[in-house]
């Protein structure tokens, strides 16, 4: 049996340390081992010894008590020894805003959370913070229940696609390389050869050989074809805007269907850590936020239909009809386009050939654990690239960001820049682009170029994560729905020219705020021209669009 993960307490205040130790032991033993040390006991040496012994550290809890103000300084060094350990600062009871050292540690990404030391029993506020951190740590570091066991070639594009798909849809699974045990043992157990990969073994013993995404969804009971009924609202896309529209629509009594061809959460769902979303002071992963919203929508009665992409949208009498790639029709009285955006491609043939085999678009969350002790690169200079770099740094030996611009300041939030600067195994190379890559079956090296000098160099690379901006998913829309020159859907005031709606507009009233040029069809979130491209604003638009749809359904359409 593997050794229990460790909760390490570091505090010179003997009384406080003993109280923390008692509280942790009551709640978390024997699943976790509790270790206490004082600063005189060389806590960094303890962390090094645990690392050398292969002992995982889940949380380091460090006191911040004057005059021995050591907590922030110690926690800033934890990741040098245990990349994935959570860092919790313990403060004395205080009133008012946090002290400057705490704010600085938060900004630099040196701590994950802070809380007051427990002084009463039971200390539920203290345990709430500890439990949340343990949940975050366990999600990426402890084996969990496996709804699916996937056997495939580790570096094949299809294996990556399935891993990414299951991770983004928050389906518990295990991946077993076919070229090693126990992958070979699992194949022998179910009587399938390695010639037909990937193979998925379900929790109930069913075996899926070379399954499609739709077959995977059906295997866990997800609906993949819409029922034949007329809905009040059809929402296309399950990113933040689409999920919000579905939640608010169903909660207000509208029959609602939500269509998603890939994964809940959209692009936001691939973010490893969103720190600036309202109401989550310690941040939240895109996966968790998407799962919470999806569960909320499900509880309100939203019909979720997965796997078949929308291929057309048209008006048929009073109905808005969405055609799908599976040949089905989704009928509704109003529709919301919330298809979001997709990452732009590099368009470099040598790298495109290795997509899923070391070259990934987004996917930092699903592939992070496979990057342990490897040299990885991130292309991009906006928030999504910064979040990916910080998350990967918890696993990789070194993360190098390749940024075309001279500075991160123009495209990245200040808090992320500070966190990147304060992470020792992240390097940033400005004015640098990738021009080529090599590898027989998976990525082995990159060719990068300094744009100022023109000099190129070839560097070894285990993986390349590309997050270089986005393109709207609007190619499937009819010409009746007007878009700007980049393909984003025009809505409301942006449709007006000289105070007049488009020539094809058929109603006496003007288009509503988020309404497209097709009456009764709205757009929300990143797909909409002029949107802010933030999770919070997408959620806001998803809620506002339901109010507008209400007006439309009440008879304001005509």
pLDDT digits (tens, 9 = 90+) for 161-174: 899 889 888 899 99
Please give the structure tokens belonging to residue 135: 């949940």
Domain 148-219 has CATH 3.40.30.10: yes
Taking only the tens place, the pLDDT of each residue in 331-352 is 999 999 999 988 888 889 999 8
Residue 367's CB: how many other CB atoms inside 10 A?
22
User: For residue 482, is pLDDT > 80?
Assistant: yes
Question: Which runs of consecutive H residues, i.e. helices, occur in 53-118?
Answer: 71-75, 100-107
- Least-confidence region, from 110-114, 481-485, 514-518: 110-114
Domain 6-141 shares a fold with domain 148-219: no
C-alpha pair distances (Å), 226 with each of 305, 306, 318, 321, 324: 6, 9, 19, 12, 10
Which candidate, 292, 294, 206, places its Cα nearest to that of 243? 294
Distance CA 239, CA 169 (A): 12
Which candidate, 403, 452, 457, 409, places its Cα nearest to that of 426? 403
User: For residue 558, is pLDDT > 60?
Assistant: no
User: For residue 521, is pLDDT > 50?
Assistant: yes
pLDDT at 258: 97
pLDDT at 265: 87
Residue 441's CB: how many other CB atoms inside 10 A?
12
At 285, the pLDDT band (50, 70, 90 cuts) reads: confident
At 442, the pLDDT band (50, 70, 90 cuts) reads: confident
Q: Which of 335-349, 370-384, 512-526 is predicted most confidently?
A: 512-526
CB burial readout 288-305, b (16+ within 10 A) else e: bbbbebbebbeebebbbb
Distance CA 354, CA 359 (A): 6
Taking only the tens place, the pLDDT of each residue in 47-59 is 999 999 999 999 9
Class of domain 6-141 (CATH, top level):
alpha beta
pTM over 0.85: no
- Can you give the residue ranges of every domain in the chain? 6-141, 148-219, 230-342+471-556, 349-468
- Crossing angle between the packed helical segments 124-141 and 14-28, to the nearest 10 degrees: 60
- Least-confidence region, from 64-68, 295-299, 333-337, 535-539: 64-68
pLDDT at 97: 59
Average pLDDT, the chain: 90
Q: Check if the beta carbon of residue 449 is closer than 8 Å to that of residue 435.
A: yes
Distance CA 88, CA 78 (A): 11
Nearest-5° Cα angle at 473, 470 to 475: 125
Q: What 3-state DSSP class applies to 209?
A: strand
CATH value of 230-342+471-556 in 1.10.287.610, 3.30.450.20, 3.40.605.10, 3.50.50.60: 3.50.50.60
**What average pLDDT score do residues 348-377 get?**
85
Q: Which residue has the higher pLDDT, 547 or 270?
A: 547
**Tally: H helices and E strands in the chain:** 15, 26
pLDDT at 532: 86
Homologous superfamily of 349-468 in CATH? FAD/NAD(P)-binding domain (3.50.50.60)
């Amino acid at each position: 049996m593997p050794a229990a993960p460790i909760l390490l307490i570091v505090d010179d205040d003997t009384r406080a340390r003993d109280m923390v130790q008692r509280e942790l032991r009551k709640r978390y033993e024997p699943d976790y081992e509790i270790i206490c040390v004082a600063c005189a006991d060389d806590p960094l040496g303890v962390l090094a010894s645990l690392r050398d012994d292969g002992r995982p550290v889940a949380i380091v809890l460090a006191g911040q008590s004057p005059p021995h103000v050591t907590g922030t300084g110690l926690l800033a060094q934890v990741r040098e020894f245990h990349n994935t350990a959570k860092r919790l600062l313990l403060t004395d009871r205080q009133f008012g805003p946090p002290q400057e050292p705490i704010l600085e540690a938060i900004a630099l990404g040196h701590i994950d959370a802070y809380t007051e030391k427990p002084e009463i029993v039971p200390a539920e506020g203290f345990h709430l913070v500890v439990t949340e951190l343990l949940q975050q740590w366990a999600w990426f570091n402890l084996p969990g229940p496996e709804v699916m066991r996937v056997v495939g070639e580790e570096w094949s594009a299809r294996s990556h696609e399935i891993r990414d798909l299951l991770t983004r849809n928050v389906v518990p699974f295990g991946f077993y390389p076919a070229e090693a045990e126990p992958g070979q043992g699992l194949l022998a157990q179910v009587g399938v050869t390695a010639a037909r990969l990937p193979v998925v073994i379900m929790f109930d013993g069913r075996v899926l050989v070379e399954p499609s995404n739709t077959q995977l969804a059906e295997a866990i009971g997800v609906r993949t074809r819409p029922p034949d009924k007329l809905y009040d609202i059809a929402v296309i896309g399950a990113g933040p805007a689409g999920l919000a529209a579905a939640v608010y629509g169903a909660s207000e009594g509208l029959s609602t269907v939500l269509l998603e061809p890939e994964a809940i959460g959209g692009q936001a769902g691939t973010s490893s850590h969103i720190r600036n979303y309202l109401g989550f002071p310690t941040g939240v992963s895109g996966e968790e936020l998407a799962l919470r919203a999806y569960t909320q929508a499900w509880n309100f009665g939203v019909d979720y239909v997965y796997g078949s992409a929308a291929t057309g949208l048209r008006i048929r009498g009073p109905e808005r009809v969405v055609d799908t790639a599976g040949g089905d029709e989704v009928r509704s009285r109003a529709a919301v386009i919330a298809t979001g955006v997709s990452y732009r491609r590099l368009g470099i043939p040598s790298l495109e050939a290795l997509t899923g085999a070391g070259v990934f678009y987004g996917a930092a969350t699903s592939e992070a654990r496979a990057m342990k002790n490897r040299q990885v690169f991130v292309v991009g200079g906006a928030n999504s690239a910064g979040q990916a770099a910080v998350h990967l740094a918890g696993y990789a030996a070194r993360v190098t960001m390749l940024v075309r611009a001279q500075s991160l300041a123009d495209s990245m939030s200040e808090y992320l820049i500070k966190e990147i600067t304060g992470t020792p195994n992240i390097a940033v190379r400005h004015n640098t682009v990738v021009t080529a890559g090599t590898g027989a079956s998976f990525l082995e090296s990159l060719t990068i170029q300094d744009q100022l000098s023109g000099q190129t160099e070839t560097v070894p690379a285990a993986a390349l994560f590309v997050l270089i901006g986005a393109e709207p998913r609007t190619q499937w829309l009819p010409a009746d729905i007007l878009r700007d020159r980049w393909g984003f859907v025009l809505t409301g005031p942006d449709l007006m020219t000289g105070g007049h709606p488009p020539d094809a507009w058929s109603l006496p009233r003007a288009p509503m705020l988020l309404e497209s040029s097709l009456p009764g069809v709205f757009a929300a979130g990143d797909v909409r021209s002029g949107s802010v491209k933030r999770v919070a604003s997408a959620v806001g638009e998803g809620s506002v669009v339901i109010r507008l749809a209400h007006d439309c359904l009440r008879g304001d359409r005509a």
